[in-house]
Amino acid sequence: MDLAKAVEGKFCPTTNKEMRERGWDAVDIVFVTGDAYVDHPSFAMAILARSLESAGFRVAILSQPPWQSCEPWRQFGPPRLFFAISAGNMDSLINHYTANRKVRNDDAYSPGGKIGLRPDRATLAYCHRAREAFPAVPILAGGVEASLRRLAHYDYWSDTVRRSILPDCKADLLVYGMGEKPIVDIARGMQAGQSIQDFRHMRGVAYCLGKSETEAKPWEQQGQEPGFSFKVLPSFEQVKNDKSKFVEATRLIHVNTNPFNAHGLVQHHDNQAVVVNPPCLPLSEQEMDGLYDFPYTRKPHPSYKEPVPAFEMIKDSVTIMRGCFGGCTFCSITAHQGRIIQSRSEESVLGEFAAMGKTPGFSGVVSDIGGPTANMYQMRCTRPEVEAKCKRLSCVHPTICKLLGTDHGPLIQLMKKARGMPGIRKVLVASGIRMDLAQLSPKYLEELAAHHVGGTLKVAPEAADPNVLRLMKKPSHDNFETFSQAFQAASKKAGKPKQFLVPYYISSHPGSDLHSMIELALYLKRNGYRPDQVQDFIPAPFDIATCMYYTGIDPMTGEEVQIPKTLRDRKMQRALLQFFKPQNYFEVRNALETAGRADLIGQGCDALIPARPPREALEARQARANKSLRGDHYHAVPSPGAKKTKGYRPGRISASRRQKPLP
* 542-558 tens-digit pLDDT: 999 999 999 999 999 99
Residue 586 in any domain: the answer is yes
Residue 224 in any domain: the answer is no
* CA–CA–CA angle 258, 263, 268 (5° rounding): 125
| Last residue in a domain, options 150, 183, 208 | 208
Rg (CA), the chain: 28
The structural domain count of the chain equals: 2
- Residue 624 is predicted with a pLDDT of 77
Beta strands in 244-392 (DSSP E): 264-269, 272-276, 299-300, 317-319, 321-322, 342-343, 365-366, 368-370
Q: How far apart are CA 35 and CA 55, in angstroms?
A: 24
User: DSSP 3-state assignment of 192?
Assistant: coil
Instruction: Look up residue 333 and give its DSSP letter.
Output: H
* CA–CA–CA angle 73, 79, 82 (5° rounding): 95
CATH code at position 29: 3.40.50.280
- Residue 617 is predicted with a pLDDT of 86
Q: Which residues of the chain, if any, have pLDDT below 50? A: 1-6, 223-225, 632-642, 645-650, 655-658, 660-663
**Residues 558, 567 contacting (CB under 8 angstroms):** no
> CA torsion sign, 120 to 123 to 129 to 132?
negative
Cα dist. 368→374, 404, 427, 501, 548 in Å?
9, 25, 7, 16, 34
* Measured torsion, CA atoms of residues 90, 91, 95, 97, in degrees rounded to the nearest 10: -160
Residue 424 in any domain: the answer is no
> CA torsion sign, 294 to 297 to 301 to 306?
positive
- Residue 654 is predicted with a pLDDT of 52
Q: How far apart are CA 313 and CA 580, in angstroms?
A: 28
* pLDDT tens, position by position, 468-491: 999 999 999 999 999 999 999 999
Cis before residue 226, ω within 30 degrees of 0?
yes
**Residues 201, 224 contacting (CB under 8 angstroms):** yes
| Last residue in a domain, options 181, 208, 235 | 208
- Residue 79 CB coordination number (10 Å): 23
Length of the chain: 663
Q: How far apart are CA 251 and CA 222, in angstroms?
A: 25
User: What DSSP letter does each residue of 478-520 carry, written as one string?
Assistant: HHHHHHHHHHHHHHHHTT-TT-EEEEEEEES-TT--HHHHHHH
Residue type for 237, please? E
Do strands 205-209 and 173-175 pair parallel, antiparallel, or not at all (unpaired)?
A: antiparallel
Beta strands in 122-229 (DSSP E): 139-142, 153-155, 160-162, 173-175, 205-209
**Residues 367, 314 contacting (CB under 8 angstroms):** yes
Q: How far apart are CA 518 and CA 305, in angstroms?
A: 46
- The per-type count for the chain, helices as H runs and strands as E runs, is 27, 22
**Residues 410, 437 contacting (CB under 8 angstroms):** no
Q: Taking each helix axis as running N to C, give the angle between helix 567-577 and helix 514-526, from 0 to 180 degrees, rounded to the nearest 10.
A: 10
- Residue 121 is predicted with a pLDDT of 96
Q: How far apart are CA 489 and CA 473, in angstroms?
A: 28
Residue 49 in any domain: the answer is yes
Residue 298 in any domain: the answer is no
- Residue 630 is predicted with a pLDDT of 60
Q: How far apart are CA 457 and CA 549, in angstroms?
A: 31
Q: How far apart are CA 15 and CA 62, in angstroms?
A: 8
Residue 396 in any domain: the answer is no
- Residue 634 is predicted with a pLDDT of 44
* CA–CA–CA angle 46, 296, 51 (5° rounding): 50
Q: How far apart are CA 601 and CA 606, in angstroms?
A: 9
Residue 342 in any domain: the answer is no
- Residue 120 is predicted with a pLDDT of 96
**Residues 52, 184 contacting (CB under 8 angstroms):** yes
Q: How far apart are CA 396 and CA 404, in angstroms?
A: 8
Q: How far apart are CA 316 and CA 458, in angstroms?
A: 18
Do strands 38-39 and 299-300 pair parallel, antiparallel, or not at all (unpaired)?
A: antiparallel
- Residue 1 is predicted with a pLDDT of 36
Domain of 200, in residue numbers: 3-208
pTM greater than 0.95: no
**Residues 278, 259 contacting (CB under 8 angstroms):** yes
**Residues 77, 26 contacting (CB under 8 angstroms):** yes
* CA–CA–CA angle 477, 148, 222 (5° rounding): 115
Residue 142 in any domain: the answer is yes
Closest CA to 186 of 177, 172, 198, 168: 198
Q: How far apart are CA 24 and CA 60, in angstroms?
A: 11
Q: How far apart are CA 65 and CA 127, in angstroms?
A: 12
**Residues 374, 428 contacting (CB under 8 angstroms):** no
Q: How far apart are CA 294 and CA 46, in angstroms?
A: 10
